[in-house]
Amino acid sequence: MTLKTVPLKKPEDVNVILGHTHFIKSVEDLYEAIVQTAPAMQFGIAFSEASGPALVRYVGNNEELIEMARANVLELAAGHTFLITLRNGFPINVLNAIKMVPEVCRIFCATANPVEVVVGETSQGRAILGVVDGVSPKGIESEQDIADRKDLLRTIGYKL
């Protein structure tokens, strides 16, 4: 097996949800989960089919985000992988709905951070082994950092 990392290519203002699913109807079910939960969110979805024609299936409501998802999934080339690219919302707004899609097996990450995907390649194909989500910790938060964290969560409406 060969190991490699594949960085996801995206601008800083785009959040991603990377996961594993098992069925061709996943793109439609993921689409429905997002629009029913966060109708104003802009997004693109791509899914790497792992049998039959083995195509990258896609859907979304924003052409730039659809193309970003398609290009990244094609670069990953790992079977039954899906990538959702998001704007005008955060993964937390749709993550539970996505997890509830019956064919979703696993979520690797949901983030706006830079992501490197650890991929294993065999003679059969590729698989995602894990992700590097963001950077390593630089220390322990101070009392001021705690106050700043609490203020941020209240400013953006996630805590009262």
Both structure tokens of 20: 């594993």
94: helix, strand or coil: helix
Contact 27, 19 (CB under 8 A): no
Please name the residue that has the structure tokens 């539970």: 96
Checking if the pLDDT of 23 tops 90, the result is no
Predicted structure pTM score: 0.92
In this prediction, residue 158 carries a pLDDT of 79
120-148 per-position pLDDT tens digit: 999 999 999 999 999 999 999 999 999 99
Spatial distance between the Cα atoms of 37 and 139, rounded to a whole number of angstroms? 36
Superfamily of domain 2-155: Ta1353-like (3.40.1520.10)
28-71 per-position pLDDT tens digit: 999 999 999 999 999 999 999 999 999 999 999 999 999 999 99
For residue 87, the cross-strand partners are 42
Domain boundaries, the chain: 2-155
77: helix, strand or coil: coil
Q: Give how far the C-alpha of residue 42 lies from the chain's centroid of Cα atoms, to the nearest Å.
A: 14
